[in-house]
Amino acid sequence: MSKPTKSVPVAGSVVAPRGFRAAGVFCDIKRLGTGKGSDKGAKPDLALIVSDVPAAVAGMFTTNQVCAAPVKLCVPRVRTGTAQAVVVNSGNANACTGPQGFRDAQIMARETARRCGLEEGAVLVGSTGRIGVPLPMPNIRRGIGMAAAGLGSTPAHADQAAEAILTSDTRAKQVAREFSLGGRPVRLGGICKGAGMIQPGMSANGSRPAAGSGGLHATMLAFLTCDAAVVPPLLQAMLAEAVARSFNRITVDGDMSTNDTVLLLANGLAGNPVLRLNSRQPERRRDREVLQEALNGVCLELAKMIVRDGEGISRVVTVRVSGARTDAEAELAARAVGNSALVKTSWHGGDPNWGRIMDALGYSAARVEEGRVDIAYSAPGQRARLFSLKQGRPTRTSFETLCAAVAPTEFELHINLNLGRGRTVLYAADLTEAYVDFNKGNVNDPASLGG
């Protein structure tokens, strides 16, 4: 079989695919009370993405038992398989807000439907920000009105939407790619946000995977658009696979949010032959492979942007574990290392401290035998590895050489447990004074206190 055609980057993120429009507006959700004059320079805080026609939809949601109202609203709506718009606010998570919170999420959808001329059930909702504070509904309503009036399909519109969903992020996160399905050009675009409370562990319905498969896991939100024609169950399966390889493989601080959400709308306007779950035609199977590869790529690119822009981080470390007894044990080992306060502070200090890595492996729930563990470093994507430990014994590599390996802002850590064929990868980050300073907030300025 020939290799699937590669996708190429294009501009416009969520409005790159045919038939999608977007907007991002400022409606003062944090109620900072900025005067109208200064509002023009304020970061937008409400985003709207609309498809010209009803689209197939797929979603992945936090498995946190304390999940936000917009998640509760979206899970059943995604299950219908069809949607046409997504409205998202930052500055307020609408989490732990009780029945009123759920009604407010419904009102967001209803107001969007009314303004855009859609069915209420075709509107999905996302929120991110402080937990436990009711949404400022007058501001939300005003924002939805402005956004609906301002929808457009230029890259500037996508930029505004990408800005609107940010919280503690320092920059917008967008990507879009074009590829070919059945001879037709197809586009897939996405925007996302992250920064803190980041260790997503999402599933299709918010229910938890089996114990031991990595249950532990900021608000991260990602919204993807595509003009391919795909039936909803296949779209859901494809998104689940892409999320398992991307957003569910990142950690900034080990805290899984109440709001983590990934939504994908595919409106079919590319006119490709419809992709179905059980299609056996070689051409369609190949199309499916091409789309999956593009989806995996776009999700991974967005997920890595979240880690690179994690709160206060100074280094991104790709933790690759191999040789575990099972993939699930590789996962437990990788998360023990990637979430260890002592390992993370050593990364911040540029200290190739393999003792802390061994310690974290040893207390993980994965089987580890001290005398078998290999630990090595490489530059991102490079084959050449520098070993600090082989079969549990320090190599002759000098301390200075190891320091040089962990000095770059991005490097890969390879851990081989040499016990089996289980493997995984985790995109992790260091722990810095800046993270602590940011998250301790300022009690004299309650608005600074994150959710």
- Which residues are the active-site residues? 219
Q: State the nearest-atom distance from the C-beta of 258 to a second copy, in Å.
A: 5
Residue from 46, 60, 67, 166 in contact with a second copy (CB under 8 A):
67
In contact, 226 and 15? CB cutoff 8 Å: no
3-state DSSP helix/strand/coil % of the chain, to nearest 5: 35, 25, 40
Question: Distance between CA atoms of 332 and 200, rounded to whole angstroms?
Answer: 15
Cα four-point dihedral sign 415, 297, 197, 449: positive
Per-residue binding string, a second copy, 101-130, x by CB under 8 A, is -----------------------------x
Q: State the nearest-atom distance from the C-beta of 107 to a second copy, in Å.
A: 20
Choice between 248 and 267, CB closer to a second copy? 248
Residue from 34, 378, 395, 439 in contact with a second copy (CB under 8 A):
439
Choice between 66 and 277, CB closer to a second copy? 66
What does DSSP say about strands 261-266 and 221-226: parallel, antiparallel, or unpaired? parallel
Per-residue binding string, a second copy, 414-433, x by CB under 8 A, is -----------------xxx
Residue from 4, 215, 273, 420 in contact with a second copy (CB under 8 A):
215
**Which DSSP category does 276 fall into?**
-
| Binders of a second copy in range 33-62 (CB under 8 A) | none
Alpha carbon distances (Å) from 302 to 90, 189, 335 = 18, 10, 20
**Which DSSP category does 173 fall into?**
E
Choice between 63 and 246, CB closer to a second copy? 63
Q: In the structure encoding, which two tokens stand for residue 258, read together?
A: 């109440």
- Binding window for a second copy (CB under 8 A); candidates: 104-112, 135-143, 321-329, 348-356: 348-356
Question: Distance between CA atoms of 285 and 289, rounded to whole angstroms?
Answer: 6
**Which DSSP category does 370 fall into?**
G
Residue from 7, 64, 94, 272 in contact with a second copy (CB under 8 A):
64
What does DSSP say about strands 123-130 and 184-193: parallel, antiparallel, or unpaired? unpaired
Nearest to 306 by CA among 381, 413, 199, 217: 199
How big is the site for a second copy, counted in residues (CB under 8 A)?
70
Strands (DSSP E) found in 295-337: 316-324
Q: State the nearest-atom distance from the C-beta of 195 to a second copy, in Å.
A: 12
| Binders of a second copy in range 376-415 (CB under 8 A) | 392-394, 399, 403
Residues binding a second copy (CB under 8 A):
63-67, 93, 95-96, 98, 130-132, 196-197, 201, 211, 215-217, 253-258, 340-342, 345-346, 348-351, 353-356, 358-363, 365, 367-371, 392-394, 399, 403, 431-433, 435-437, 439-443, 446, 449-451
